[in-house]
Homo-oligomer: A and B are copies of this chain.
């Protein structure tokens, strides 16, 4: 049976002429094995950074529409070069911009959402025996302007195309060989996970795993697109991200992720009245800031402290928004802390194993690590701690849960 698969190659995978030729060779092999292939590419290596630097040299203002026009030139270069390399190997290939591939987005420049895919041109190219090479990260808005999809945009393009074309699966080629039980730079014993569920992958992506963007995993889960995350440097089998298999017993803990890119904002001595929390987080959201964890202490004498974490880049904006509201709700003070880190355990088996939280806390206690904030979901436990003990925590937990 002929299968249709989508292969996505990230920026390092197409970083220079040699890499592009290596990718072309792999696409050619995949076809010779009897598959139809659709390729999605990112811009080459540091192209995007170079273009942004150039923009800053030219202007103090970067109108989002023009920034999108600028950045989308990056995939245009990598995709046409890949088609040339494929032609050299005798594989007929044809490149498509986001617009030509029928990727219709909303009008929210620099972080557009895909509204619809009209893959007629891709379907025809496949039927005619071509390999369509599609620009990742970009689309055309409903008002016919060029848009980009923001962080993880190329992964999202690949998954969305897989869904629209009913592909058998979607391969995400990157510079790591899959999803690991922990960051191998921190835990030497960390090993690759052969198979993980969408839910676990979502929790990992949300809690600091950098292998796949959260958004593309959500898309894959919603449209049931099996993902295979693997390396374009070693070409070895990587990690499959699929639906949970109800037949199999789930590992209690599948992986440990950590994140040191956030900061904590605390609003102190908030009068404990209905609606105050809503006011704070409405103001922060209005400033366009993504709040991650939120903790509210037990009220003491009618006052409480509310803490939340935000990307460290957004500290100044978060403080400004929180201070404005603090005055209005008569809170005492707003403080920030950029020396925090977070460690998360993720595992589908947690649902049926009540002792995981206790074991996590006692492991951290044995290491003398103080927990500052806690948040949990059905299959994840996250603890905020001092940044400088994060790596020690990850190593100890990896050992304790015998990963």
- For A21, the closest partner residue in chain B by CB is B58
Q: A390 contacts which chain B residues (CB < 8 A)?
A: none
Do A87 and B66 touch across chains, with their CB atoms under 8 A apart? yes
Q: A58 contacts which chain B residues (CB < 8 A)?
A: 17, 20-21, 81-82, 84-85, 88
Q: A66 contacts which chain B residues (CB < 8 A)?
A: 80-81, 83-84, 87, 93-95
Q: A51 contacts which chain B residues (CB < 8 A)?
A: 77
Q: A246 contacts which chain B residues (CB < 8 A)?
A: none
A79 within 8 A of B: yes
Q: When chains A and B are docked, how far (Å) is the Cα of A72 from the Cα of B147?
A: 17
Do A63 and B84 touch across chains, with their CB atoms under 8 A apart? yes
Q: When chains A and B are docked, how far (Å) is the Cα of A362 from the Cα of B57?
A: 57
Contacting residue for A55 out of B59, B74, B84, B146, CB 8 A: B84
A273 to chain B, nearest CB (A): 44
Do B70 and A87 touch across chains, with their CB atoms under 8 A apart? no
Do A61 and B76 touch across chains, with their CB atoms under 8 A apart? no
A316 within 8 A of B: no
A274 within 8 A of B: no
One digit per residue, 1 when the CB lies within 8 angstroms of any chain B CB and 0 when it does not, for chain A 81-114 equals 1111101100001110100100000000000000
Q: When chains A and B are docked, how far (Å) is the Cα of A144 from the Cα of B73?
A: 18
A65 within 8 A of B: yes
Do A55 and B70 touch across chains, with their CB atoms under 8 A apart? no
Q: A276 contacts which chain B residues (CB < 8 A)?
A: none
Do A83 and B63 touch across chains, with their CB atoms under 8 A apart? yes
- For A135, the closest partner residue in chain B by CB is B69
Q: A81 contacts which chain B residues (CB < 8 A)?
A: 54-55, 58-59, 66, 70
Q: A63 contacts which chain B residues (CB < 8 A)?
A: 83-84, 87
Q: When chains A and B are docked, how far (Å) is the Cα of A60 from the Cα of B62?
A: 38
A67 within 8 A of B: yes
Do A61 and B80 touch across chains, with their CB atoms under 8 A apart? no
Q: A54 contacts which chain B residues (CB < 8 A)?
A: 17, 77, 81
Q: Which of A60, A63, A66, A93 has the most CB of B within 10 A?
A: A66
Known A-B contacts A17-B57, A59-B87; A95 and B73 likewise in contact (beta carbons under 8 Å): no
Q: When chains A and B are docked, how far (Å) is the Cα of A74 from the Cα of B73?
A: 8
Q: A20 contacts which chain B residues (CB < 8 A)?
A: 58
Contacting residue for A70 out of B61, B77, B97, CB 8 A: B77
One digit per residue, 1 when the CB lies within 8 angstroms of any chain B CB and 0 when it does not, for chain A 29-68 equals 0000000000000000000000100110111111101110
Contacting residue for A61 out of B55, B69, B84, CB 8 A: B84
Q: Scan residues 97-147 of chain A and give those whose CB is less than 8 A from a CB of chain B.
A: 97, 100, 121, 144, 146
Contacting residue for A88 out of B17, B61, B87, B97, CB 8 A: B61
Q: A72 contacts which chain B residues (CB < 8 A)?
A: 76
Known A-B contacts A17-B58, A76-B73; A65 and B84 likewise in contact (beta carbons under 8 Å): no
Q: When chains A and B are docked, how far (Å) is the Cα of A100 from the Cα of B57?
A: 27
Further 20 A-B residue pairs, CB within 8 A, beyond A63-B83, A66-B81, A76-B76: A17-B58, A21-B58, A51-B77, A54-B81, A55-B84, A58-B85, A58-B88, A59-B84, A61-B84, A61-B87, A66-B80, A66-B83, A66-B95, A67-B80, A67-B84, A69-B79, A70-B76, A73-B74, A73-B76, A73-B80
Q: List 18 A-B contacts (CB under 8 A).
A: A21-B59, A54-B77, A55-B80, A55-B84, A58-B84, A59-B87, A60-B88, A61-B87, A63-B84, A65-B94, A65-B95, A66-B80, A70-B76, A70-B77, A70-B81, A70-B84, A73-B77, A73-B80
* Chain A residues packing against B (C-beta within 8 Å): 17, 20-21, 51, 54-55, 57-63, 65-67, 69-70, 72-74, 76-77, 79-85, 87-88, 93-95, 97, 100, 121, 144, 146
